[in-house]
Amino acid sequence: MRRLEFLDHPGPIPFAHRGGRGNWPENSWPAFENAVGLGYRYLETDVRATSDGVVLLLHDETLERVTDSTGSISSLTYREAAGIRLRSPETVHEQGAEIPRLDQLLDRWPDIRLNIDIKEPGAVAPTVDVIRRANAVGRVCVTSFRDATIRQARSLLGENLCVGGGTGAVGSLRLQSLLPTAAQRGGRLRARVDVVQVPTMFRGVPVCDARFVRCAARLGLPVHAWTINDADEMERLLALGVEGLITDYPETLKSHLISRGQWWGSS
C-alpha cells in the first residue's frame, strides 16, 4: 500500500475538527489560529461553493445555525456572502468573524495539512481548482459521504491525492469486518481509497470497533475516528490501533498525546 504525503506522520494524527469548534465558532479564523498556535499540523474543515464558484469553509447546507444570515450559501454570490458573519450557539468567543475561503486557508499556512470534506456535488470542481492553483495536492485529503464525489476529485487531481472512503466504502468495510477472520483474508474494497474516517457509532450501531480496525489494517487502510472529545475515549481508540483522532477540543487531544509521548506538533 502506497504511503501518501498527507499520511506521512510519525504517530497518531491529531486533527482540529472544523478548526477546533469546542471553544470557537466552527470553521472560523480564530478557531484555526488557536489550533495552529497549539502546534497542530492537521486541520479538518468543510467546503461549499457560492453561486459564482467561490469555495467557502462551511458545514451546513443553510446558514442559520452558524451565521447571522439565512438561506443557502449556494444561492449567493461571493460578494453577497462576504457580508455574512459567523456566530456560534456553543461559545461567546470571537463572534462576528467572516466565513473564510479555502484558498485563504491554504495560503495562510503553507505547511499545514487540510482534511477537506466536500459537502455538495457543486463544490467539487471549484474545490479541485483551488487545490490545483495552490499546488496543494500532496497536503490535502479529500473526503465526502458521497463516493462519487471522491471518485471525481481523484480523477481530476490524480493518484497523489489522498482520499477518504465515502459511505459506500465504509459500509463495505464494516460488513467485511463482521465476517470470520478466514473469510476476510484476501478481501479488498471495490473503492480505491487511502484512509477511512468514521464515527465510533452511527444511529446506535457500532462502526469503529476492534474488528473494524483489524480488518482495515489487513487492507493497509489507516482508520481515523471522529468526533472524539473525551480523553478516555481517545485512549480506548488509540489502544485499538486507530491512527488519527478528529476532535472539537484540540487542547484535550494535545494533552493526551503528550501524556503518551506521541505529540509531534510544532510546539
CATH code, domain carrying 142:
3.20.20.190
> What is the pTM (predicted TM-score) of this model?
0.94
pLDDT, tens digit, for every residue of 188-221? 777 789 999 999 999 898 999 999 999 999 999 9
Q: Is 9 a catalytic residue?
A: no
Point out the catalytic residue in the list 17, 93, 224, 256: 17
What is the tally of structural domains in the chain?
1
pLDDT, tens digit, for every residue of 105-127? 999 999 999 999 999 999 999 99
Say what the pLDDT of residue 2 is: 62
Confidence of residue 266 (pLDDT cuts 50, 70, 90): confident
182, pLDDT greater than 80? no
Residue 55, in any domain of the structure: no
Residue 68, in any domain of the structure: no
Say what the pLDDT of residue 188 is: 72
Say what the pLDDT of residue 71 is: 96
Say what the pLDDT of residue 87 is: 84
Residue 80, in any domain of the structure: no
155, pLDDT greater than 90? yes
Confidence of residue 185 (pLDDT cuts 50, 70, 90): low
> Which of 19-33, 86-100, 173-187 ranks highest by mean pLDDT?
19-33
User: In the structure grid, which three cell numbers stand for residue 265, read together?
Assistant: 506538533
Confidence of residue 23 (pLDDT cuts 50, 70, 90): confident
Confidence of residue 183 (pLDDT cuts 50, 70, 90): low
92, pLDDT greater than 60? no
Say what the pLDDT of residue 54 is: 98
Say what the pLDDT of residue 234 is: 98
Point out the catalytic residue in the list 9, 59, 224, 256: 59
User: For 83-104, what is the mean pLDDT?
Assistant: 80
CA-nearest of 160, 51, 45, 60 to 103 is 45
Residue 77, in any domain of the structure: no
pLDDT, tens digit, for every residue of 63-76? 999 999 999 999 99
Say what the pLDDT of residue 186 is: 63
User: For 232-261, what is the mean pLDDT?
Assistant: 98
User: For 148-162, what is the mean pLDDT?
Assistant: 97
User: For 244-248, what is the mean pLDDT?
Assistant: 98
Q: Is 59 a catalytic residue?
A: yes
Residue 73, in any domain of the structure: no
Burial of residue 59 (CB within 10 Å: 0-12, 13-18, 19+) is middle
Say what the pLDDT of residue 93 is: 56
Say what the pLDDT of residue 12 is: 98
Say what the pLDDT of residue 180 is: 82
How many residues would you count in the chain? 267
136, pLDDT greater than 90? yes
Say what the pLDDT of residue 21 is: 87
Residue 85, in any domain of the structure: no
Residue 72, in any domain of the structure: no
Domain housing 130: 5-50+100-259
